[in-house]
Amino acid sequence: MRSNYILLLIKLIKMKVTINDVAKLASVSIKTVSRVINNEPSVRKATFDKVMEAVKTLNYQPNLAARNLAGSKSFTIGLVYDNPNAYYVLDMQNGILSCCKSEGYELLIHPCSYAKDDMIEELKTMINRARISGLVLTPPLSEINEVIDMLDEQNIHYVRILSGQELDPAQTECIYVNDHNAAFQITEHLISQGHKSIAFLKGDKGHKSTRERLSGYKESLVSNNIKVDESLILEGEYSFSSGVENAKKIINQDKSVTAIIACNDEIAAGALFAARLMDIKIPDELSISGFENSPFSRQTWPKLTTANQSIETIAQNAAKLLFSKTRGQRNKDKEIIKTFTPELVIRDSTGPI
Domain range annotation of the chain: 2-61, 73-178+311-340, 179-309
- Give the integer Cα–Cα distance in Å for 132 and 6: 40
Please give the average per-residue pLDDT across 129-148, as a whole number: 90
- Give the integer Cα–Cα distance in Å for 174 and 145: 14
State what percent of residues in the chain have pLDDT above 90.
57
Q: Give the model's confidence band at 308: pLDDT under 50 very low, under 70 low, under 90 confident, else very high.
A: very high
In terms of Cα–Cα distance, which of 107, 112, 177, 178 is closest to 147?
112
Decide: 92 and 319 in contact? Cβ < 8 Å: no
Q: Give the model's confidence band at 50: pLDDT under 50 very low, under 70 low, under 90 confident, else very high.
A: confident
Per-residue confidence (pLDDT) for residue 9, from 0 to 100 = 56
In tens, the pLDDT along 88-121 reads: 899 999 999 999 888 888 899 989 888 888 889 9
Domains 73-178+311-340 and 179-309 share a fold: yes
Per-residue confidence (pLDDT) for residue 223, from 0 to 100 = 98
CATH dotted code for 73-178+311-340: 3.40.50.2300
Decide: 134 and 326 in contact? Cβ < 8 Å: yes
Q: Which phi and psi angles does 134 have, rounded to 5°?
A: -170, 170
- Give the integer Cα–Cα distance in Å for 186 and 293: 13
- One CATH from 3.90.600.10, 3.90.550.10, 3.40.50.2300, 1.10.260.40 for 179-309: 3.40.50.2300
How many CB atoms neighbour CB 196 within 10 A? 16
Per-residue confidence (pLDDT) for residue 333, from 0 to 100 = 52
- Give the integer Cα–Cα distance in Å for 349 and 269: 10
Q: Which phi and psi angles does 250 have, rounded to 5°?
A: -70, -35
- Give the integer Cα–Cα distance in Å for 91 and 314: 9
Decide: 7 and 19 in contact? Cβ < 8 Å: no
| Residue 70 scores a pLDDT above 60 | no
- Return all residues near 92 (Cβ < 8 A) that are at least 6 apart: 79, 81, 136, 138, 311, 312, 314, 315
CATH architecture for residues 2-61:
Orthogonal Bundle (1.10)
Mean pLDDT of the chain: 87
pTM equals 0.78
Selected residue with higher pLDDT from 6 and 129: 129
In terms of Cα–Cα distance, which of 52, 30, 32 is closest to 40?
32
- Give the integer Cα–Cα distance in Å for 106 and 182: 34
In terms of Cα–Cα distance, which of 172, 137, 162 is closest to 332?
172
